[in-house]
């Protein structure tokens, strides 16, 4: 019997957190708003047939893992983003690909700017 893999893209969009990331002392004290977007490509075949959370990549867990990492201060978005990726991938080895975008809202750039973002993909 031939098995058809149903590849799905799970997206957690614009998760918002208040955290204390940045190289400047003021950022570590005052904090800032951060938005996180995550796109996970995974095989959804079993979950699509069974309708059971036990067979699915649980995106509530993905949110919790992201929140745990965002609450640990970092100087660089690169460091924070890589920690998020590592945490999710170690919890869900079935992930085919993972893309994480972290946006720092209103960064201290000396002028008006909506955000600065970093996207990493594995």
Helices (H), 4-114: 25-30, 45-50, 59-70, 77-91
Chain center to CA of 118:
11
Neighbours of 118 (CB within 10 A): 15
Contact assessment for residue 83 and residue 72, using Cβ atoms and an 8 Å cutoff = yes
Q: Which of 82, 99, 104, 114 is catalytic?
A: 104
For residue 32, what are the β-bridge partners? 19
Contact assessment for residue 71 and residue 19, using Cβ atoms and an 8 Å cutoff = yes
- Reply yes or no on whether 82 is catalytic: no
Catalytic positions are 104
């Amino acid at each position: 019997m031939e098995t058809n893999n149903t590849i799905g893209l799970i997206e957690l969009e614009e998760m918002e957190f208040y955290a204390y990331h940045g190289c400047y002392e003021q950022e570590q004290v005052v904090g800032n708003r951060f938005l996180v977007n995550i796109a996970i490509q995974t095989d959804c075949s079993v979950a699509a047939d069974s309708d059971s959370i036990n067979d699915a990549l649980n995106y509530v867990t993905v949110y919790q893992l992201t929140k745990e990492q965002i609450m640990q201060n970092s100087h660089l978005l690169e460091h924070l983003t890589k920690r998020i990726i590592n945490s999710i991938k170690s919890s869900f080895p079935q992930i085919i690909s993972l893309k994480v975008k972290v946006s720092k809202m209103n960064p201290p750039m000396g002028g008006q700017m909506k955000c600065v973002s970093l996207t990493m993909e594995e």
